[in-house]
Amino acid sequence: MEDFNINYYAHHTRFIYCLFQNYSNMNNLGNCQEAFEKVSEESLLRDFMSRAYYTVFLKARNEMFLSDSVSHSDVLNQLDPKYKNMFRDLKTFRVDADYKTDYPITYPLKNDKVKGQYYLERLISIMDKFLSATGEQLAYSHVTLRENKKRKFLIGEI
Amino acid sequence: MINQLENMEYKANNPLLTTLVASFMATGSVFAGYIPNQSINYTGMVHENYDYQATKQSTHISNIITNNIVFDTSTTIEKTIIEKIDSVFGYKVLDIEKSSLTDDEGTFSIYTMLLDLETRDYSKLLDEEWELSEQLGLYEQNIILRFV
């Protein structure tokens, strides 16, 4: 079930990303369609940012043998600093995407749409790095990783 | 109008009218030739718009440099980071934005940098970002780099 969740989120996020790119590439549209495109672009981007974060959260949680009820902070605390930075990156964008309604998130850096596109590519790349990483790569402490695995084994979750 | 003249010529079968129709048709074809020219002009306008956007973007970049938004940050961490990015990886920084983030581990300064690259391999850039962080000990100083 956990693997299904990760795969579901990964595919869902990729799907949203592809939709966003397709919408962005459509330039010769009428006014109504343009308006529709702008709204869709915004909501698709927000959806993409939010799902990208949950995808890596689930992946990190499962690879590090943490329980389902673990908090997001616990996952962050056990990550290697390199992945921690990327995790923080996605988390910031997730919070912006879900809660910041005072400006369009399609233009995250000084209202420049080009840079917004760079952000998207960066986020999908971070997601790829997380999805291809093993527990040993993601975890800061291998001792803690082994303890987590042992605990999960003892309670019969693995 | 040309169709009407052709009909008239057909009906009247008059040599003078035929000459007149021929000259009108020749003029008409010249006139008709203007229509594709107009579309060429229109295409030209589109090209002008693209040029305008490119100019606008490069102006924006030159403003960053001439107004010293990036480079007048002497003795600050921004300058060190910008110089290191150039010397280690050979990338120029076009724009820089500082923001902050607070979580369980403290408050972090995030430096988001727009790099002067035609194509971006983010997998490589993310590794380079971390490499530089380690080199400069930025993580210990609660500084996070973002290359975009």
Q: What are phi and psi of B138, to 5 degrees?
A: -75, -35
- The pLDDT, as a whole number, for residue B130 is 93
Q: What's the pLDDT at B101?
A: 82
For each of the domains in chain A, give its residue range(s) and CATH number, in order of start. Answer: 2-154 (1.20.120)
**pLDDT value, residue B132:** 93
Residues of B in contact with A88 (CB under 8 A): 101, 103, 108, 144
Q: Answer whether B123 sits within 8 Å of A92, measured CB to CB.
A: no
pLDDT single digits (tens) B56-96: 333 333 333 333 334 344 457 888 888 899 999 999 988 88
Nearest CB to A85 within list B95, B112, B144: B144
Q: Are A17 and A48 in contact (CB under 8 A)?
A: yes
What count of other Cβ atoms lies within 10 Å of the Cβ of residue B48? 10
Quick check: A82 and B130 CB within 8 A?
yes
Whole-number Å distance between alpha carbons of A2 and A115: 34
Q: What is the per-residue pLDDT for A25?
A: 61
Flag if B130 and A85 touch (Cβ within 8 Å). Answer: yes
Below-70 pLDDT ranges, chain A: 1-5, 8, 19-41, 103, 106-116
Residue B120 has pLDDT above 80, yes or no: yes
pLDDT value of position B48: 31
Which pLDDT score is estimated for A26?
Answer: 56
Cβ contacts of B120 on chain A, cutoff 8 Å: 118, 121
* Residue B71 forms contact with A (CB below 8 Å): no
Higher pLDDT, B8 or A135: A135
The pLDDT confidence band at residue B19, using thresholds 50, 70 and 90, is low
* Residue B18 phi, psi dihedral angles, 5° rounding: -60, -45
Instruction: Compute the half-sphere exposure of residue A136: CA atoms within 13 Å on the CB side of its CA.
Output: 0
For chains A and B, count residue pairs whose Cβ atoms are closer than 8 Å: 57
- Does A122 contact B144 at a Cβ distance shorter than 8 Å? no
> A124: which chain B residues are within 8 Å (Cβ-Cβ)?
122
| Cross-chain residue pair B97–A110, CB shorter than 8 Å | yes
Q: Taking CB atoms and an 8 Å cutoff, what residues of chain B touch A85?
A: 129-130, 133, 139, 144
Q: Are the Cβ atoms of A86 and B126 closer than 8 angstroms?
A: yes
The mean predicted confidence, pLDDT, of chain B is 64
Q: Which of residues 105-124 of B touch A (CB under 8 A)?
A: 105, 108, 110, 112, 114, 120, 122-123
Mutation choice for B interface testing from A87, A89, A113, A120 by most B CBs within 10 A: A89
Q: CA-CA distances (angstroms) from residue A56 to A6, A40, B102, B138?
A: 8, 24, 20, 24
Highest mean pLDDT (candidates A107-111, B59-63, B113-117, B127-131): B127-131
pLDDT of residue A133: 92
| Residue B89: per-residue pLDDT | 93
Find the CB nearest B104 among A76, A121, A126: A76
Instruction: Give the span between the Cα atoms of A99 and A50, in whole angstroms.
Output: 10
Instruction: Summarize the confidence of residues B16-28 as an average pLDDT.
Output: 50
Domains and CATH numbers, chain B: 2-63 (no CATH), 77-147 (3.30.300)
The DSSP call for residue A79 is B
The answer to whether B64 and B94 have CB atoms below 8 angstroms apart is: yes
Are B148 and A122 inside 8 Å of each other by CB? yes
ipTM > 0.90, yes or no: no
Of B97, B103, B120, the CB nearest to A121: B120
In this predicted structure, the answer to whether residue B49 has a pLDDT above a threshold of 90 is: no
Mean pLDDT in residue range B42-66? 33
